[in-house]
Each structure stands twice: as C-alpha cells, then as structure tokens.
Amino acid sequence: MSTNLDTYKKWQPFLLGLCAAIGLIAGMNMRQVQKPSVETNAIQLNSMDRIQKFADVMGYIQSKYIDSIDLEKSTDLALDAWLASLDPYSDYIPSSELNSFSNRMNGTDEDFGLDLVVADSKIVIQKVREASDAAAAGMQAGDQIKLINGLQIKPDMYYLDSLIDSILESNQDSIEIAWYSHEFAREQNSKIGLSPFKDNAVGLSFSPEKGVVYLKLKILNKESYREFMNVLETYVSGKNCNRLIIDLRGNAGGLVHEAAYILNQLIPEKDILLFKTQGFKTAAKEFKSTGKPFFRLDKIVVLVDNETASAAELIAASLQDLDRATIVGQNTYGKGTVLEQYSLPDGSAIRLAVSRFSTNSGRLIQKPYENSEEYNYLSNPENSGEAIYYSRKKRRLATNKGVVPDIELDATNSAFDSTQQLIAIPIIAGHIHEIKKLVANPKESLKSNKQLDLILKNELSKAKTKYSGIRWNEEQIIQTCHATILLWLFGESTFQEERLKTDPVFQRALQELRN
C-alpha cells in the first residue's frame, strides 16, 4: 500500500499537469468559433505553450526515464486525481468498475451467492442466495469456508471483503471453494460461478399495525418508483393502509428523476414546486407536482440518518418544505449535488457534478466542503441576501446542513450493537443445524421455544466468562440471537422486521402516526 502511495505521490504533479493539458485541449476543441482577437490569440498561444511543455516532459520520460511506464495505470491515476480535486463527488470510473455501477442503477447485480461472516476465528456462511451455484452445491448457513482458490482465508472481514472485491474486479467468473458441510459432516470442494440477481430498490415492506405501511427504500435506481408503487398498491389499495413510513436510512441516493416520480405520488396538489436543479453552466430545471397521485395517503413519516444522501435527502427535504411529512432520525449527509455520467472511448466514464438542487423554500441541502469557495460564498446567508428559509406553514428550516429532522433521535439500537453481535454470532454458528430443527417457521415465537432458550442460556453462561470485560445484558443478547437466527434461516426481511421491534426511531414514527 505504501509503495503504491509513494508511486502516486512521485507522479502526482506530472499527472495533474497532464490532466490540465488534456483539459485545455478539450476546452479549445469544444469552444465555439469566435472572431479572433488579440487577447484570444494570446490565450491560445499560452495554452499551446503549456501543452507543448507537457508533451516535452512526456517525451523525455518515455525516452529517458529509468523505469518502464504503465501509461494506462498512469492515465487512470491522473483522471482520478483530477476529478477528486474538483469536489468530493465527481469521480472517474474505470472500465473494470463501470459495469457493476451500471448494474446497481438498473437494479441488477451479480455475485457468488454467499454472505460470509467471521465467528470464533472461522469464516462461516451467513446466507446462501437461492438459484445460485452455492445453493446448488448444497451450501447452507452455518457451513464453514476453508479455502478460496486454494488460499487459506484469514478470519478478518476487512481482508475477506478485499479478497472478494479483488476477485470480482479481476473479472473471474468462478472460484474454487473448499468448505465444511455440517449436514454431511465432511469437507467438500465446489466450483462456484458468478450469477446475476435482482437487487430490489425496496427492501422490507409490511404493515406493522392496522392502517400503517412501512417500506425500506434502499436506493433510487431505475426500479425504485415501480417497486414503490407496487408496495402502495398492495397495502393502500389492498389493505386500506393510509399512513406511510418511508425508511431512507442508509440510502445514498441515485437517480433524481426517480425521486421526482415518488414525490409526485405524495403531493396531491398540482403545479407545486418540488425542487429545482441549476449549475453554473447548466440551465435551471424545475420539477413540479402533477397533482395526480394514484393513492390517497394521510400522514407520512420519513426516517433518515447520517448516511441518507443526495436524491434520498431530496425526498425528505421536499416533503419537509411542504409540511407533507414528519422527518425523524439523525441529521442527513448533506449532498445536494447532481452528477451526470459521460462515457469515454475506452469503456470507462466520468461522473461530473453539473448542478445543485434547491427545494421549494429555496434552501440548499449541500454542506460546505473544501475547494468550494464560490459555492460557500453564494450559500452564505449574509452574501446571498436570504438568511432564513421557511416551510409552507412558516416553520423555520435549516440550510446548508443536510436535512435536520423535525424529531432528532439517537439511532442506536442497543439490542443489535456490535458487542451483542460479537457474542451472538458464534453461538448461532455453532448450533445452527440443531436450531434448524427447532425453528421451522419465522412466525413462531422464539421466546417461547424452551429448547432454544436452553441452548442459548447454556452458551451465554460460558460466554459471560469469556467476555467478562464488557457490559452484559442477557436480554439484549438473546434478542440479537433471535434476530440472527431469523436472518440465517429466513432472510433479510424477516431479520429487519425483528430489529424494528426495538428500533427507537421506528417506534417514534409509529407514535407520530397514532397522534
């Protein structure tokens, strides 16, 4: 790692300069034809001098430099550094990563069908995706991974994630896995291929109580609006739910037009400004309500946290401006920048910040960042001439701070913190095949399962000595054990529904809808 960093530092001035030269060439080529002037000619001559200077340096390096040069790698580093110097969001996407990024926006992806976790210094399977090679090979939750491509795997999640990422980036379409099957009580070898799967934009959706529908919106991709509408049709039309909880926690954003489509289903009035986008070189574009929602909704609560960003923040901020929803949770990330993607000839692409969005009140979500002098000046109330922003009902709103919730709550769910999971996961991993026989249905009450309770309490009595240095709360650890069982045996949605039972932000949302 340090060698790569040193290499980058050594080349950084040249690479950035080379990028500047490329930018000058592009700018000259894209400039419209104008009547030449003395000043214009002087600028062009100066630009050509700079380009020639870098061309000369490149010529010397190629002909005289002591070591060989990887031009493709150098170009990628240069583009990455150049875009990173502009703002925190513009970036360069190498051709090797572009397909994965495009898949996420299309609602599809591919992997090896395994979710892995570290338990008692072992790599254990947490979940096997249906219709994957891993499932066909007979792999099950609780089985242990011994080798991947002949390599013994260190029991460290960072190392494991890095290894899987490197395999995916190398375009390998299969891996060899040596694994121990608890069902057959022997070690097995399997070749596992990459397989595509639909990565739903909407995660868990259910009715936690009469008249209420909850949905987890994970990303704003090309499928978000359609999936959002499917949930509303199921619960609003089918089950007479007219109060809505939208969970945007952890949603990093995505496509702005999908946010606009969703907002149009939540605002009943016509021609109401939802938000506006505008950039220094990009014309202003207004997004207004159509006044044609398909479903009637009364109260809405939106859940946010410090990872709610970009287009997801836009949904929360717009509803807050229009007093259409109560926002509950933590202050959001503060990314109010619109990115556009431009393809490059070699199959790579850049995502470039082209505009920022403002909401109905005129406020900005974007938090100040380094190297944003012009933005910081214009967004300062003392300079912009507008110090305070209000909602339609004259509630004062924060600007340049992300979305500040109407009800701020600590999102910590004490029953599922990292300490509880550290204790719970090895216990479940060691008994998962025994537990499978005891828990056949996710709707069964795990609390009343006496055999399961006996297993957990016996293991916790041993663990209490092992983890003597931590704060011990047996009730919370058992809750985490129950949730882990549901995740491993019945999937993510069942697990998340169990977590919400002790989630203070979700519980406050229910309270707001009851008032």
Name the residue ranges covered by the structural domains of the chain.
Answer: 2-85, 108-198, 202-408, 414-514
pLDDT, one tens digit per residue, over 94-131 is 887 888 888 888 888 888 999 999 988 899 999 999 88
In Å, how far are 175, 239, 262, 321 from 227, measured between CA atoms?
33, 17, 10, 25
Question: Class assignment of domain 202-408?
Answer: alpha beta
Question: Class assignment of domain 108-198?
Answer: mainly beta
Indicate the helix (H) or strand (E) that contains 350. Answer: strand 349-359
Question: What letter represents residue 146's amino acid?
Answer: K
**Most confident by average pLDDT, 160-164, 324-328, 335-339:** 324-328
Check: CB of residue 340 under 8 Å from CB of residue 89.
no
Global pTM value = 0.84
**Most confident by average pLDDT, 18-32, 62-76, 110-124, 378-392:** 110-124
Q: Which of 166-170, 368-372, 374-378 has the lowest mean pLDDT?
A: 374-378
pLDDT score recorded for residue 386: 47
Indicate the helix (H) or strand (E) that contains 3. Answer: helix 2-30
Which pLDDT band holds residue 159 (cuts at 50, 70, 90)?
confident
Same fold, 108-198 and 202-408: no
- SS in 3 state form for 93-148? ECHHHHHHHHHHHHCEEEECCEEEEEECCEEEEEEECCCCHHHHCCCCCCCEEEEE
% of the chain surpassing 70 pLDDT? 86
Which pLDDT band holds residue 64 (cuts at 50, 70, 90)?
confident
Indicate the helix (H) or strand (E) that contains 455. Answer: helix 450-466
Q: Bigger pLDDT: 401 or 300? A: 300
